[in-house]
Structure formats: C-alpha cells, structure tokens
Amino acid sequence: MLKTDVFTPSRFKSEGSIFLRGVQVPFHTVSEDNVFYDDEGKPMASIFSYSYFRSDVENIDERPVLFGFNGGPGTSSMMVHVGFLSPLRMKYGEEDADGTPLPPYESCENAQCLLDIADLVVIDPVGTGFGRLVNEEYKDKFYGIEPDAEAILTFIQMWLARYNRWKSPKYIVGESYGCTRAATVAGMGSLSGSDRAYSVAFDGIIMIGNTVTLGKHFRDCPPVYPSVLAFPTLAATHWYHNKPSEQSVEEFVAEAKAFADRDYLLALYQGEALPDDERERIIEKIIYYTGVSRQYLERRALFVDDVEFRAEVARNKGKYVSRLDGRITRPLINPGLVEERWGMRDDPAEGKYNPFFQSILCGEVFPMLNINWDRNFVNSHSLYMSWNNEIKYRNTSMSLSSAMRRIPGMRTFFINGWYDICTQIGILYYTLNHADFPMERIFVKGYKAGHMAYLGEENIQEMTDDMYTFMTGGDPTKN
C-alpha cells in the first residue's frame, strides 16, 4: 500500500449535543491511535478509534458501551460509522429507479443514533482507515482471523482500562467480515486466545450481513448445495425486479425457501435419476421463484449459480444486479464479455456508495471530531488477498456458541438484507440450524435491504429501532 505520511500517534477531542428520542444529549469525543509495541518499545501497529461519550452520565458502571466495525477483511469502519452510528450521518434522500438513493452527497443530524442509551466506540482495525501497520515485519501478528481478533480484544482491554469501563455492559456490532471478527472476539473473550486468556464478557452481539460459518475458514460454504442456500435471496431479488407475485417479499421468500428445502434439494440430489414429469415441475418452479431462463437451467443441470444469476434475473431489462445489494443494477456488458469474469470487480453498489460515504466522513464527520491532520484515510485495503484464514481452535459458529453458553445472559441479533447476494440469509438459516446455539437468545430479522441493511431512511429507522430494543433487553423481531 502506498504511504503518504509518517506515523505519529495522535489524539483529537471535541464536544457537541444531539436531540434523540425527545431528549437533548450532550456528548464529547476522543479519536485516537491505540499503539501496539514490540519488546523493544518500538511501534508495530495502531488501531484507530472514535469514542463518543454521553457527557451527563452519573453512573458509568451501568452505562453500556457499543464497539462497532466493518469487515473486509481490510475494510475501515467507514460504513457503520457514517451510515448509522455517528451523530452526523448520510442523508439518504429519495429512492431512485434502483431502489436506493443516489448522491448528491448530503449529511444530516442522526436522529437514529444510539448515543442516548450507550457510549459508542467505532474501530478502524490495523491497516484500515486511520489504523496503521507501522512495521511490515509484524503483519502476521495482525492479518488473520485469530491475530485480528486478538488485536481487537487487546484494544478493547486497553480502552476499558483507560476509561474505567470494565464494569459497563459491553456490546459489539459487526458488519460482513465484522461478523466473523465479532464471533471470534466473543469466543476468545470468554475462553482464551492462542496464548492467553482475556476474560472479556459481552452482553450482546449484533451481526449485520452474516459471515459466521460452520467451516474451517470464514469463506467456507456449508456442506449442502449452494443453489439451495442461495434460493431465498435469489427469490427476493427476482421479486424486487420482476414482481412475479402479489405477495409481500417476506411471504414470497418463505414459500420459495420451503420449496428449496424439500423439492429442489431432492431434485438436485437425484440428478439424472429425476423422472421427466418431476423434472419439468421443478424447472417451472425454479423459473417462477428466481426468474432465470429455461435455457439457463438446462445448461446448468438445474443448478443456479449466484454470480451467473446476477446476469440472468434482469436480463430482459438489459441489467446486471449487484452482489452487495440486489436492488442496484448496471447495464449488462454487451457484446461478448463474460459477466462472471467482471461481476465481482464491477459491483454497481460499491461504485455508487463508496464515494458517498467517504465524502461525508472525511468532509463533515472528521471536522466535527476536530480531526485535523494529513494522514491519509484508507477506506479499504485488499487484505483478504493475503489474509490468514486458518482457525486453530474453533470455527466461528463454535466460537459464538461457546461464548453464549459460558455467558448465560449473552444474546445475539442477526440482521440480514433480503437482497444481499454477498452474505445470503439462507446460509445464516443453515448455520443456525447446525451450530448448537441457545436459540432462545438468538434473534433473526430480514430487512428490505441489501448487504448494508441501514441504507435508506425507512431501513435505518427500522434497524436502529430494533437495535435499541435489543440493547434495552427486548425482542427486536417483535417490532
């Protein structure tokens, strides 16, 4: 990664107030480097944090703390920070033809901010945002599932000690790979890391766009046909673009999932042994629920690939849908280029939103926080290319399940967009059915959104209302 600055540990402070749920909430902030040193006292790396404290709290022992981050791995906290956590956020505006708002870039006071009920700590992990890997020799200590989680846990311990918050209720919100990070952090916190115990117990975890899995690595797919796992998301995306039914998206997806769990799964298993009349019935049902063509199904032996699906579902409109948000499209590449070859690197959602988020974060949120320096903000760094995905002790679902069993009051809330083709809700359903979770403390809700479930004024209101309910002890699925 190109470097444009020399690392110097820094700290910035500010004050402000915001009107939340009928109350004027004063707050102060501390944005700072949290430096890791080697045995000789030289800096190895830094996690950068943005801490928002409510200023009129008398008993901080009872005041919850919510730690938040995005994923990647290699992604800064930009999306969760300016998307829904900060007192100043993106203004989403009116929906466009693709179902989510286009720029121009505007901000607004965040009336959905959770600062009235919790102090907020937004985290840029090592190598992301303002976080830095100072000495490349130590990258293996930070760039991997377990090293990254241990660095985050070490930071949390540092932060709790610095601000005298060990007694406070503790929550995590992670998005995308941030769910893998959150589950691993929770497991290490309640058990032990590779070399030591941390003894950090969390009251609750909020997962946005699930990446918690049953596999050895965070990218592992469960041992069942991917077409079956993807089917609820494929159906939702087809419903959005083509409206095959007068049902709500929730009703249509539930019906599609029931078909996939039984008839479709059995048909794929039978393969060539499937009787002709049953094969014809299955083909008609797949077309109805997903919108792919008969020719495609015949060519793919009834399997539906989620990358190819993105070129199939709205082909009659000349559009290709986004992996991150199936509502957002770009024109099909025509003629001749293979969509599968370009789709992962030409996602219309990323092109639409990354400049939006970074403009508001760097242009308005950082000045609000009195962050004034020349350090380059790296919203995303492709660390996943060299990330150490090995897990020595427990897969991510086992880490979360173990933490929940060891901490009887701990609860987990899974938030997934129906149109999220990146982290499909069907994989979450499968994981929950096979990971030995205490299901009475697990909450799952689908949203009319993509990977970032808070995009749009209605979505951010619904999601933060549900987070508020969850963090105050209620059932967010009842809202």
Question: What is the tens place of the pLDDT at every residue in 290-303?
Answer: 999 999 999 999 99
In a domain, 3, yes or no: no
240 and 210 in a single domain? The answer is no
Tell me the C-alpha distance between 118 and 67, whole Å.
10
Tell me the C-alpha distance between 315 and 291, whole Å.
10
Q: How many domains does the chain have?
A: 2
Which amino acid would we find at residue 110?
A: N
Task: Give phi and psi for 194, each to the nearest 5.
Answer: -70, -30
SS3 label, residue 238: helix
pLDDT at site 335: 44
58 and 205 in a single domain? The answer is yes
At residue 285, does pLDDT exceed 60?
Answer: yes
380 and 330 in a single domain? The answer is no
Decide which of 323, 348, 373 is a domain's last residue.
Answer: 348
Q: Which residues of 423-461 are buried (b: 16+ CB within 10 A; e: fewer)?
A: bbbbbbbbbbeebebeeebbbbbbbbbbbbbbbbbebbe
In a domain, 6, yes or no: no
User: What are the tens digits of pLDDT across the range 373-426?
Assistant: 889 999 988 787 889 988 877 789 989 999 999 999 999 999 999 999 999 999
Residue 43 tokens read as 């800096």
116 and 210 in a single domain? The answer is yes
336 and 381 in a single domain? The answer is no
pLDDT at site 3: 61
204 and 235 in a single domain? The answer is no
343 and 356 in a single domain? The answer is no
pLDDT at site 279: 96
25 and 52 in a single domain? The answer is yes
Q: Give me the residues paired with residue 174 across strands.
A: 69, 207
Task: Give phi and psi for 425, each to the nearest 5.
Answer: -65, -25
DSSP state of 435: S
Domain of 25, CATH number, reads 3.40.50.1820
At residue 354, does pLDDT exceed 90?
Answer: no
Decide which of 348, 376, 394 is a domain's last residue.
Answer: 348
Which amino acid would we find at residue 399?
A: S
In a domain, 44, yes or no: yes
Tell me the C-alpha distance between 430 and 369, whole Å.
42
In a domain, 40, yes or no: yes
Nearest CA among 132, 100, 142, 36 for reference residue 452:
100
pTM: 0.94
215 and 289 in a single domain? The answer is no
CA quadruple 96, 365, 378, 182: dihedral sign = negative
In a domain, 2, yes or no: no
- Mean pLDDT (the chain, rounded): 90
Q: How confident is the model at residue 127 (pLDDT cuts 50, 70, 90)?
A: very high
Tell me the C-alpha distance between 450 and 351, whole Å.
15
Decide which of 317, 348, 379 is a domain's last residue.
Answer: 348
Tell me the C-alpha distance between 416 and 452, whole Å.
8
Q: What percent of the chain has pLDDT over 70?
A: 92
In a domain, 437, yes or no: yes
Q: How confident is the model at residue 153 (pLDDT cuts 50, 70, 90)?
A: very high
214 and 238 in a single domain? The answer is no
146 and 25 in a single domain? The answer is yes
Q: How confident is the model at residue 336 (pLDDT cuts 50, 70, 90)?
A: very low
Q: How confident is the model at residue 340 (pLDDT cuts 50, 70, 90)?
A: low
Structural domain for 125, as ranges: 11-220+351-478
In a domain, 1, yes or no: no
342 and 432 in a single domain? The answer is no
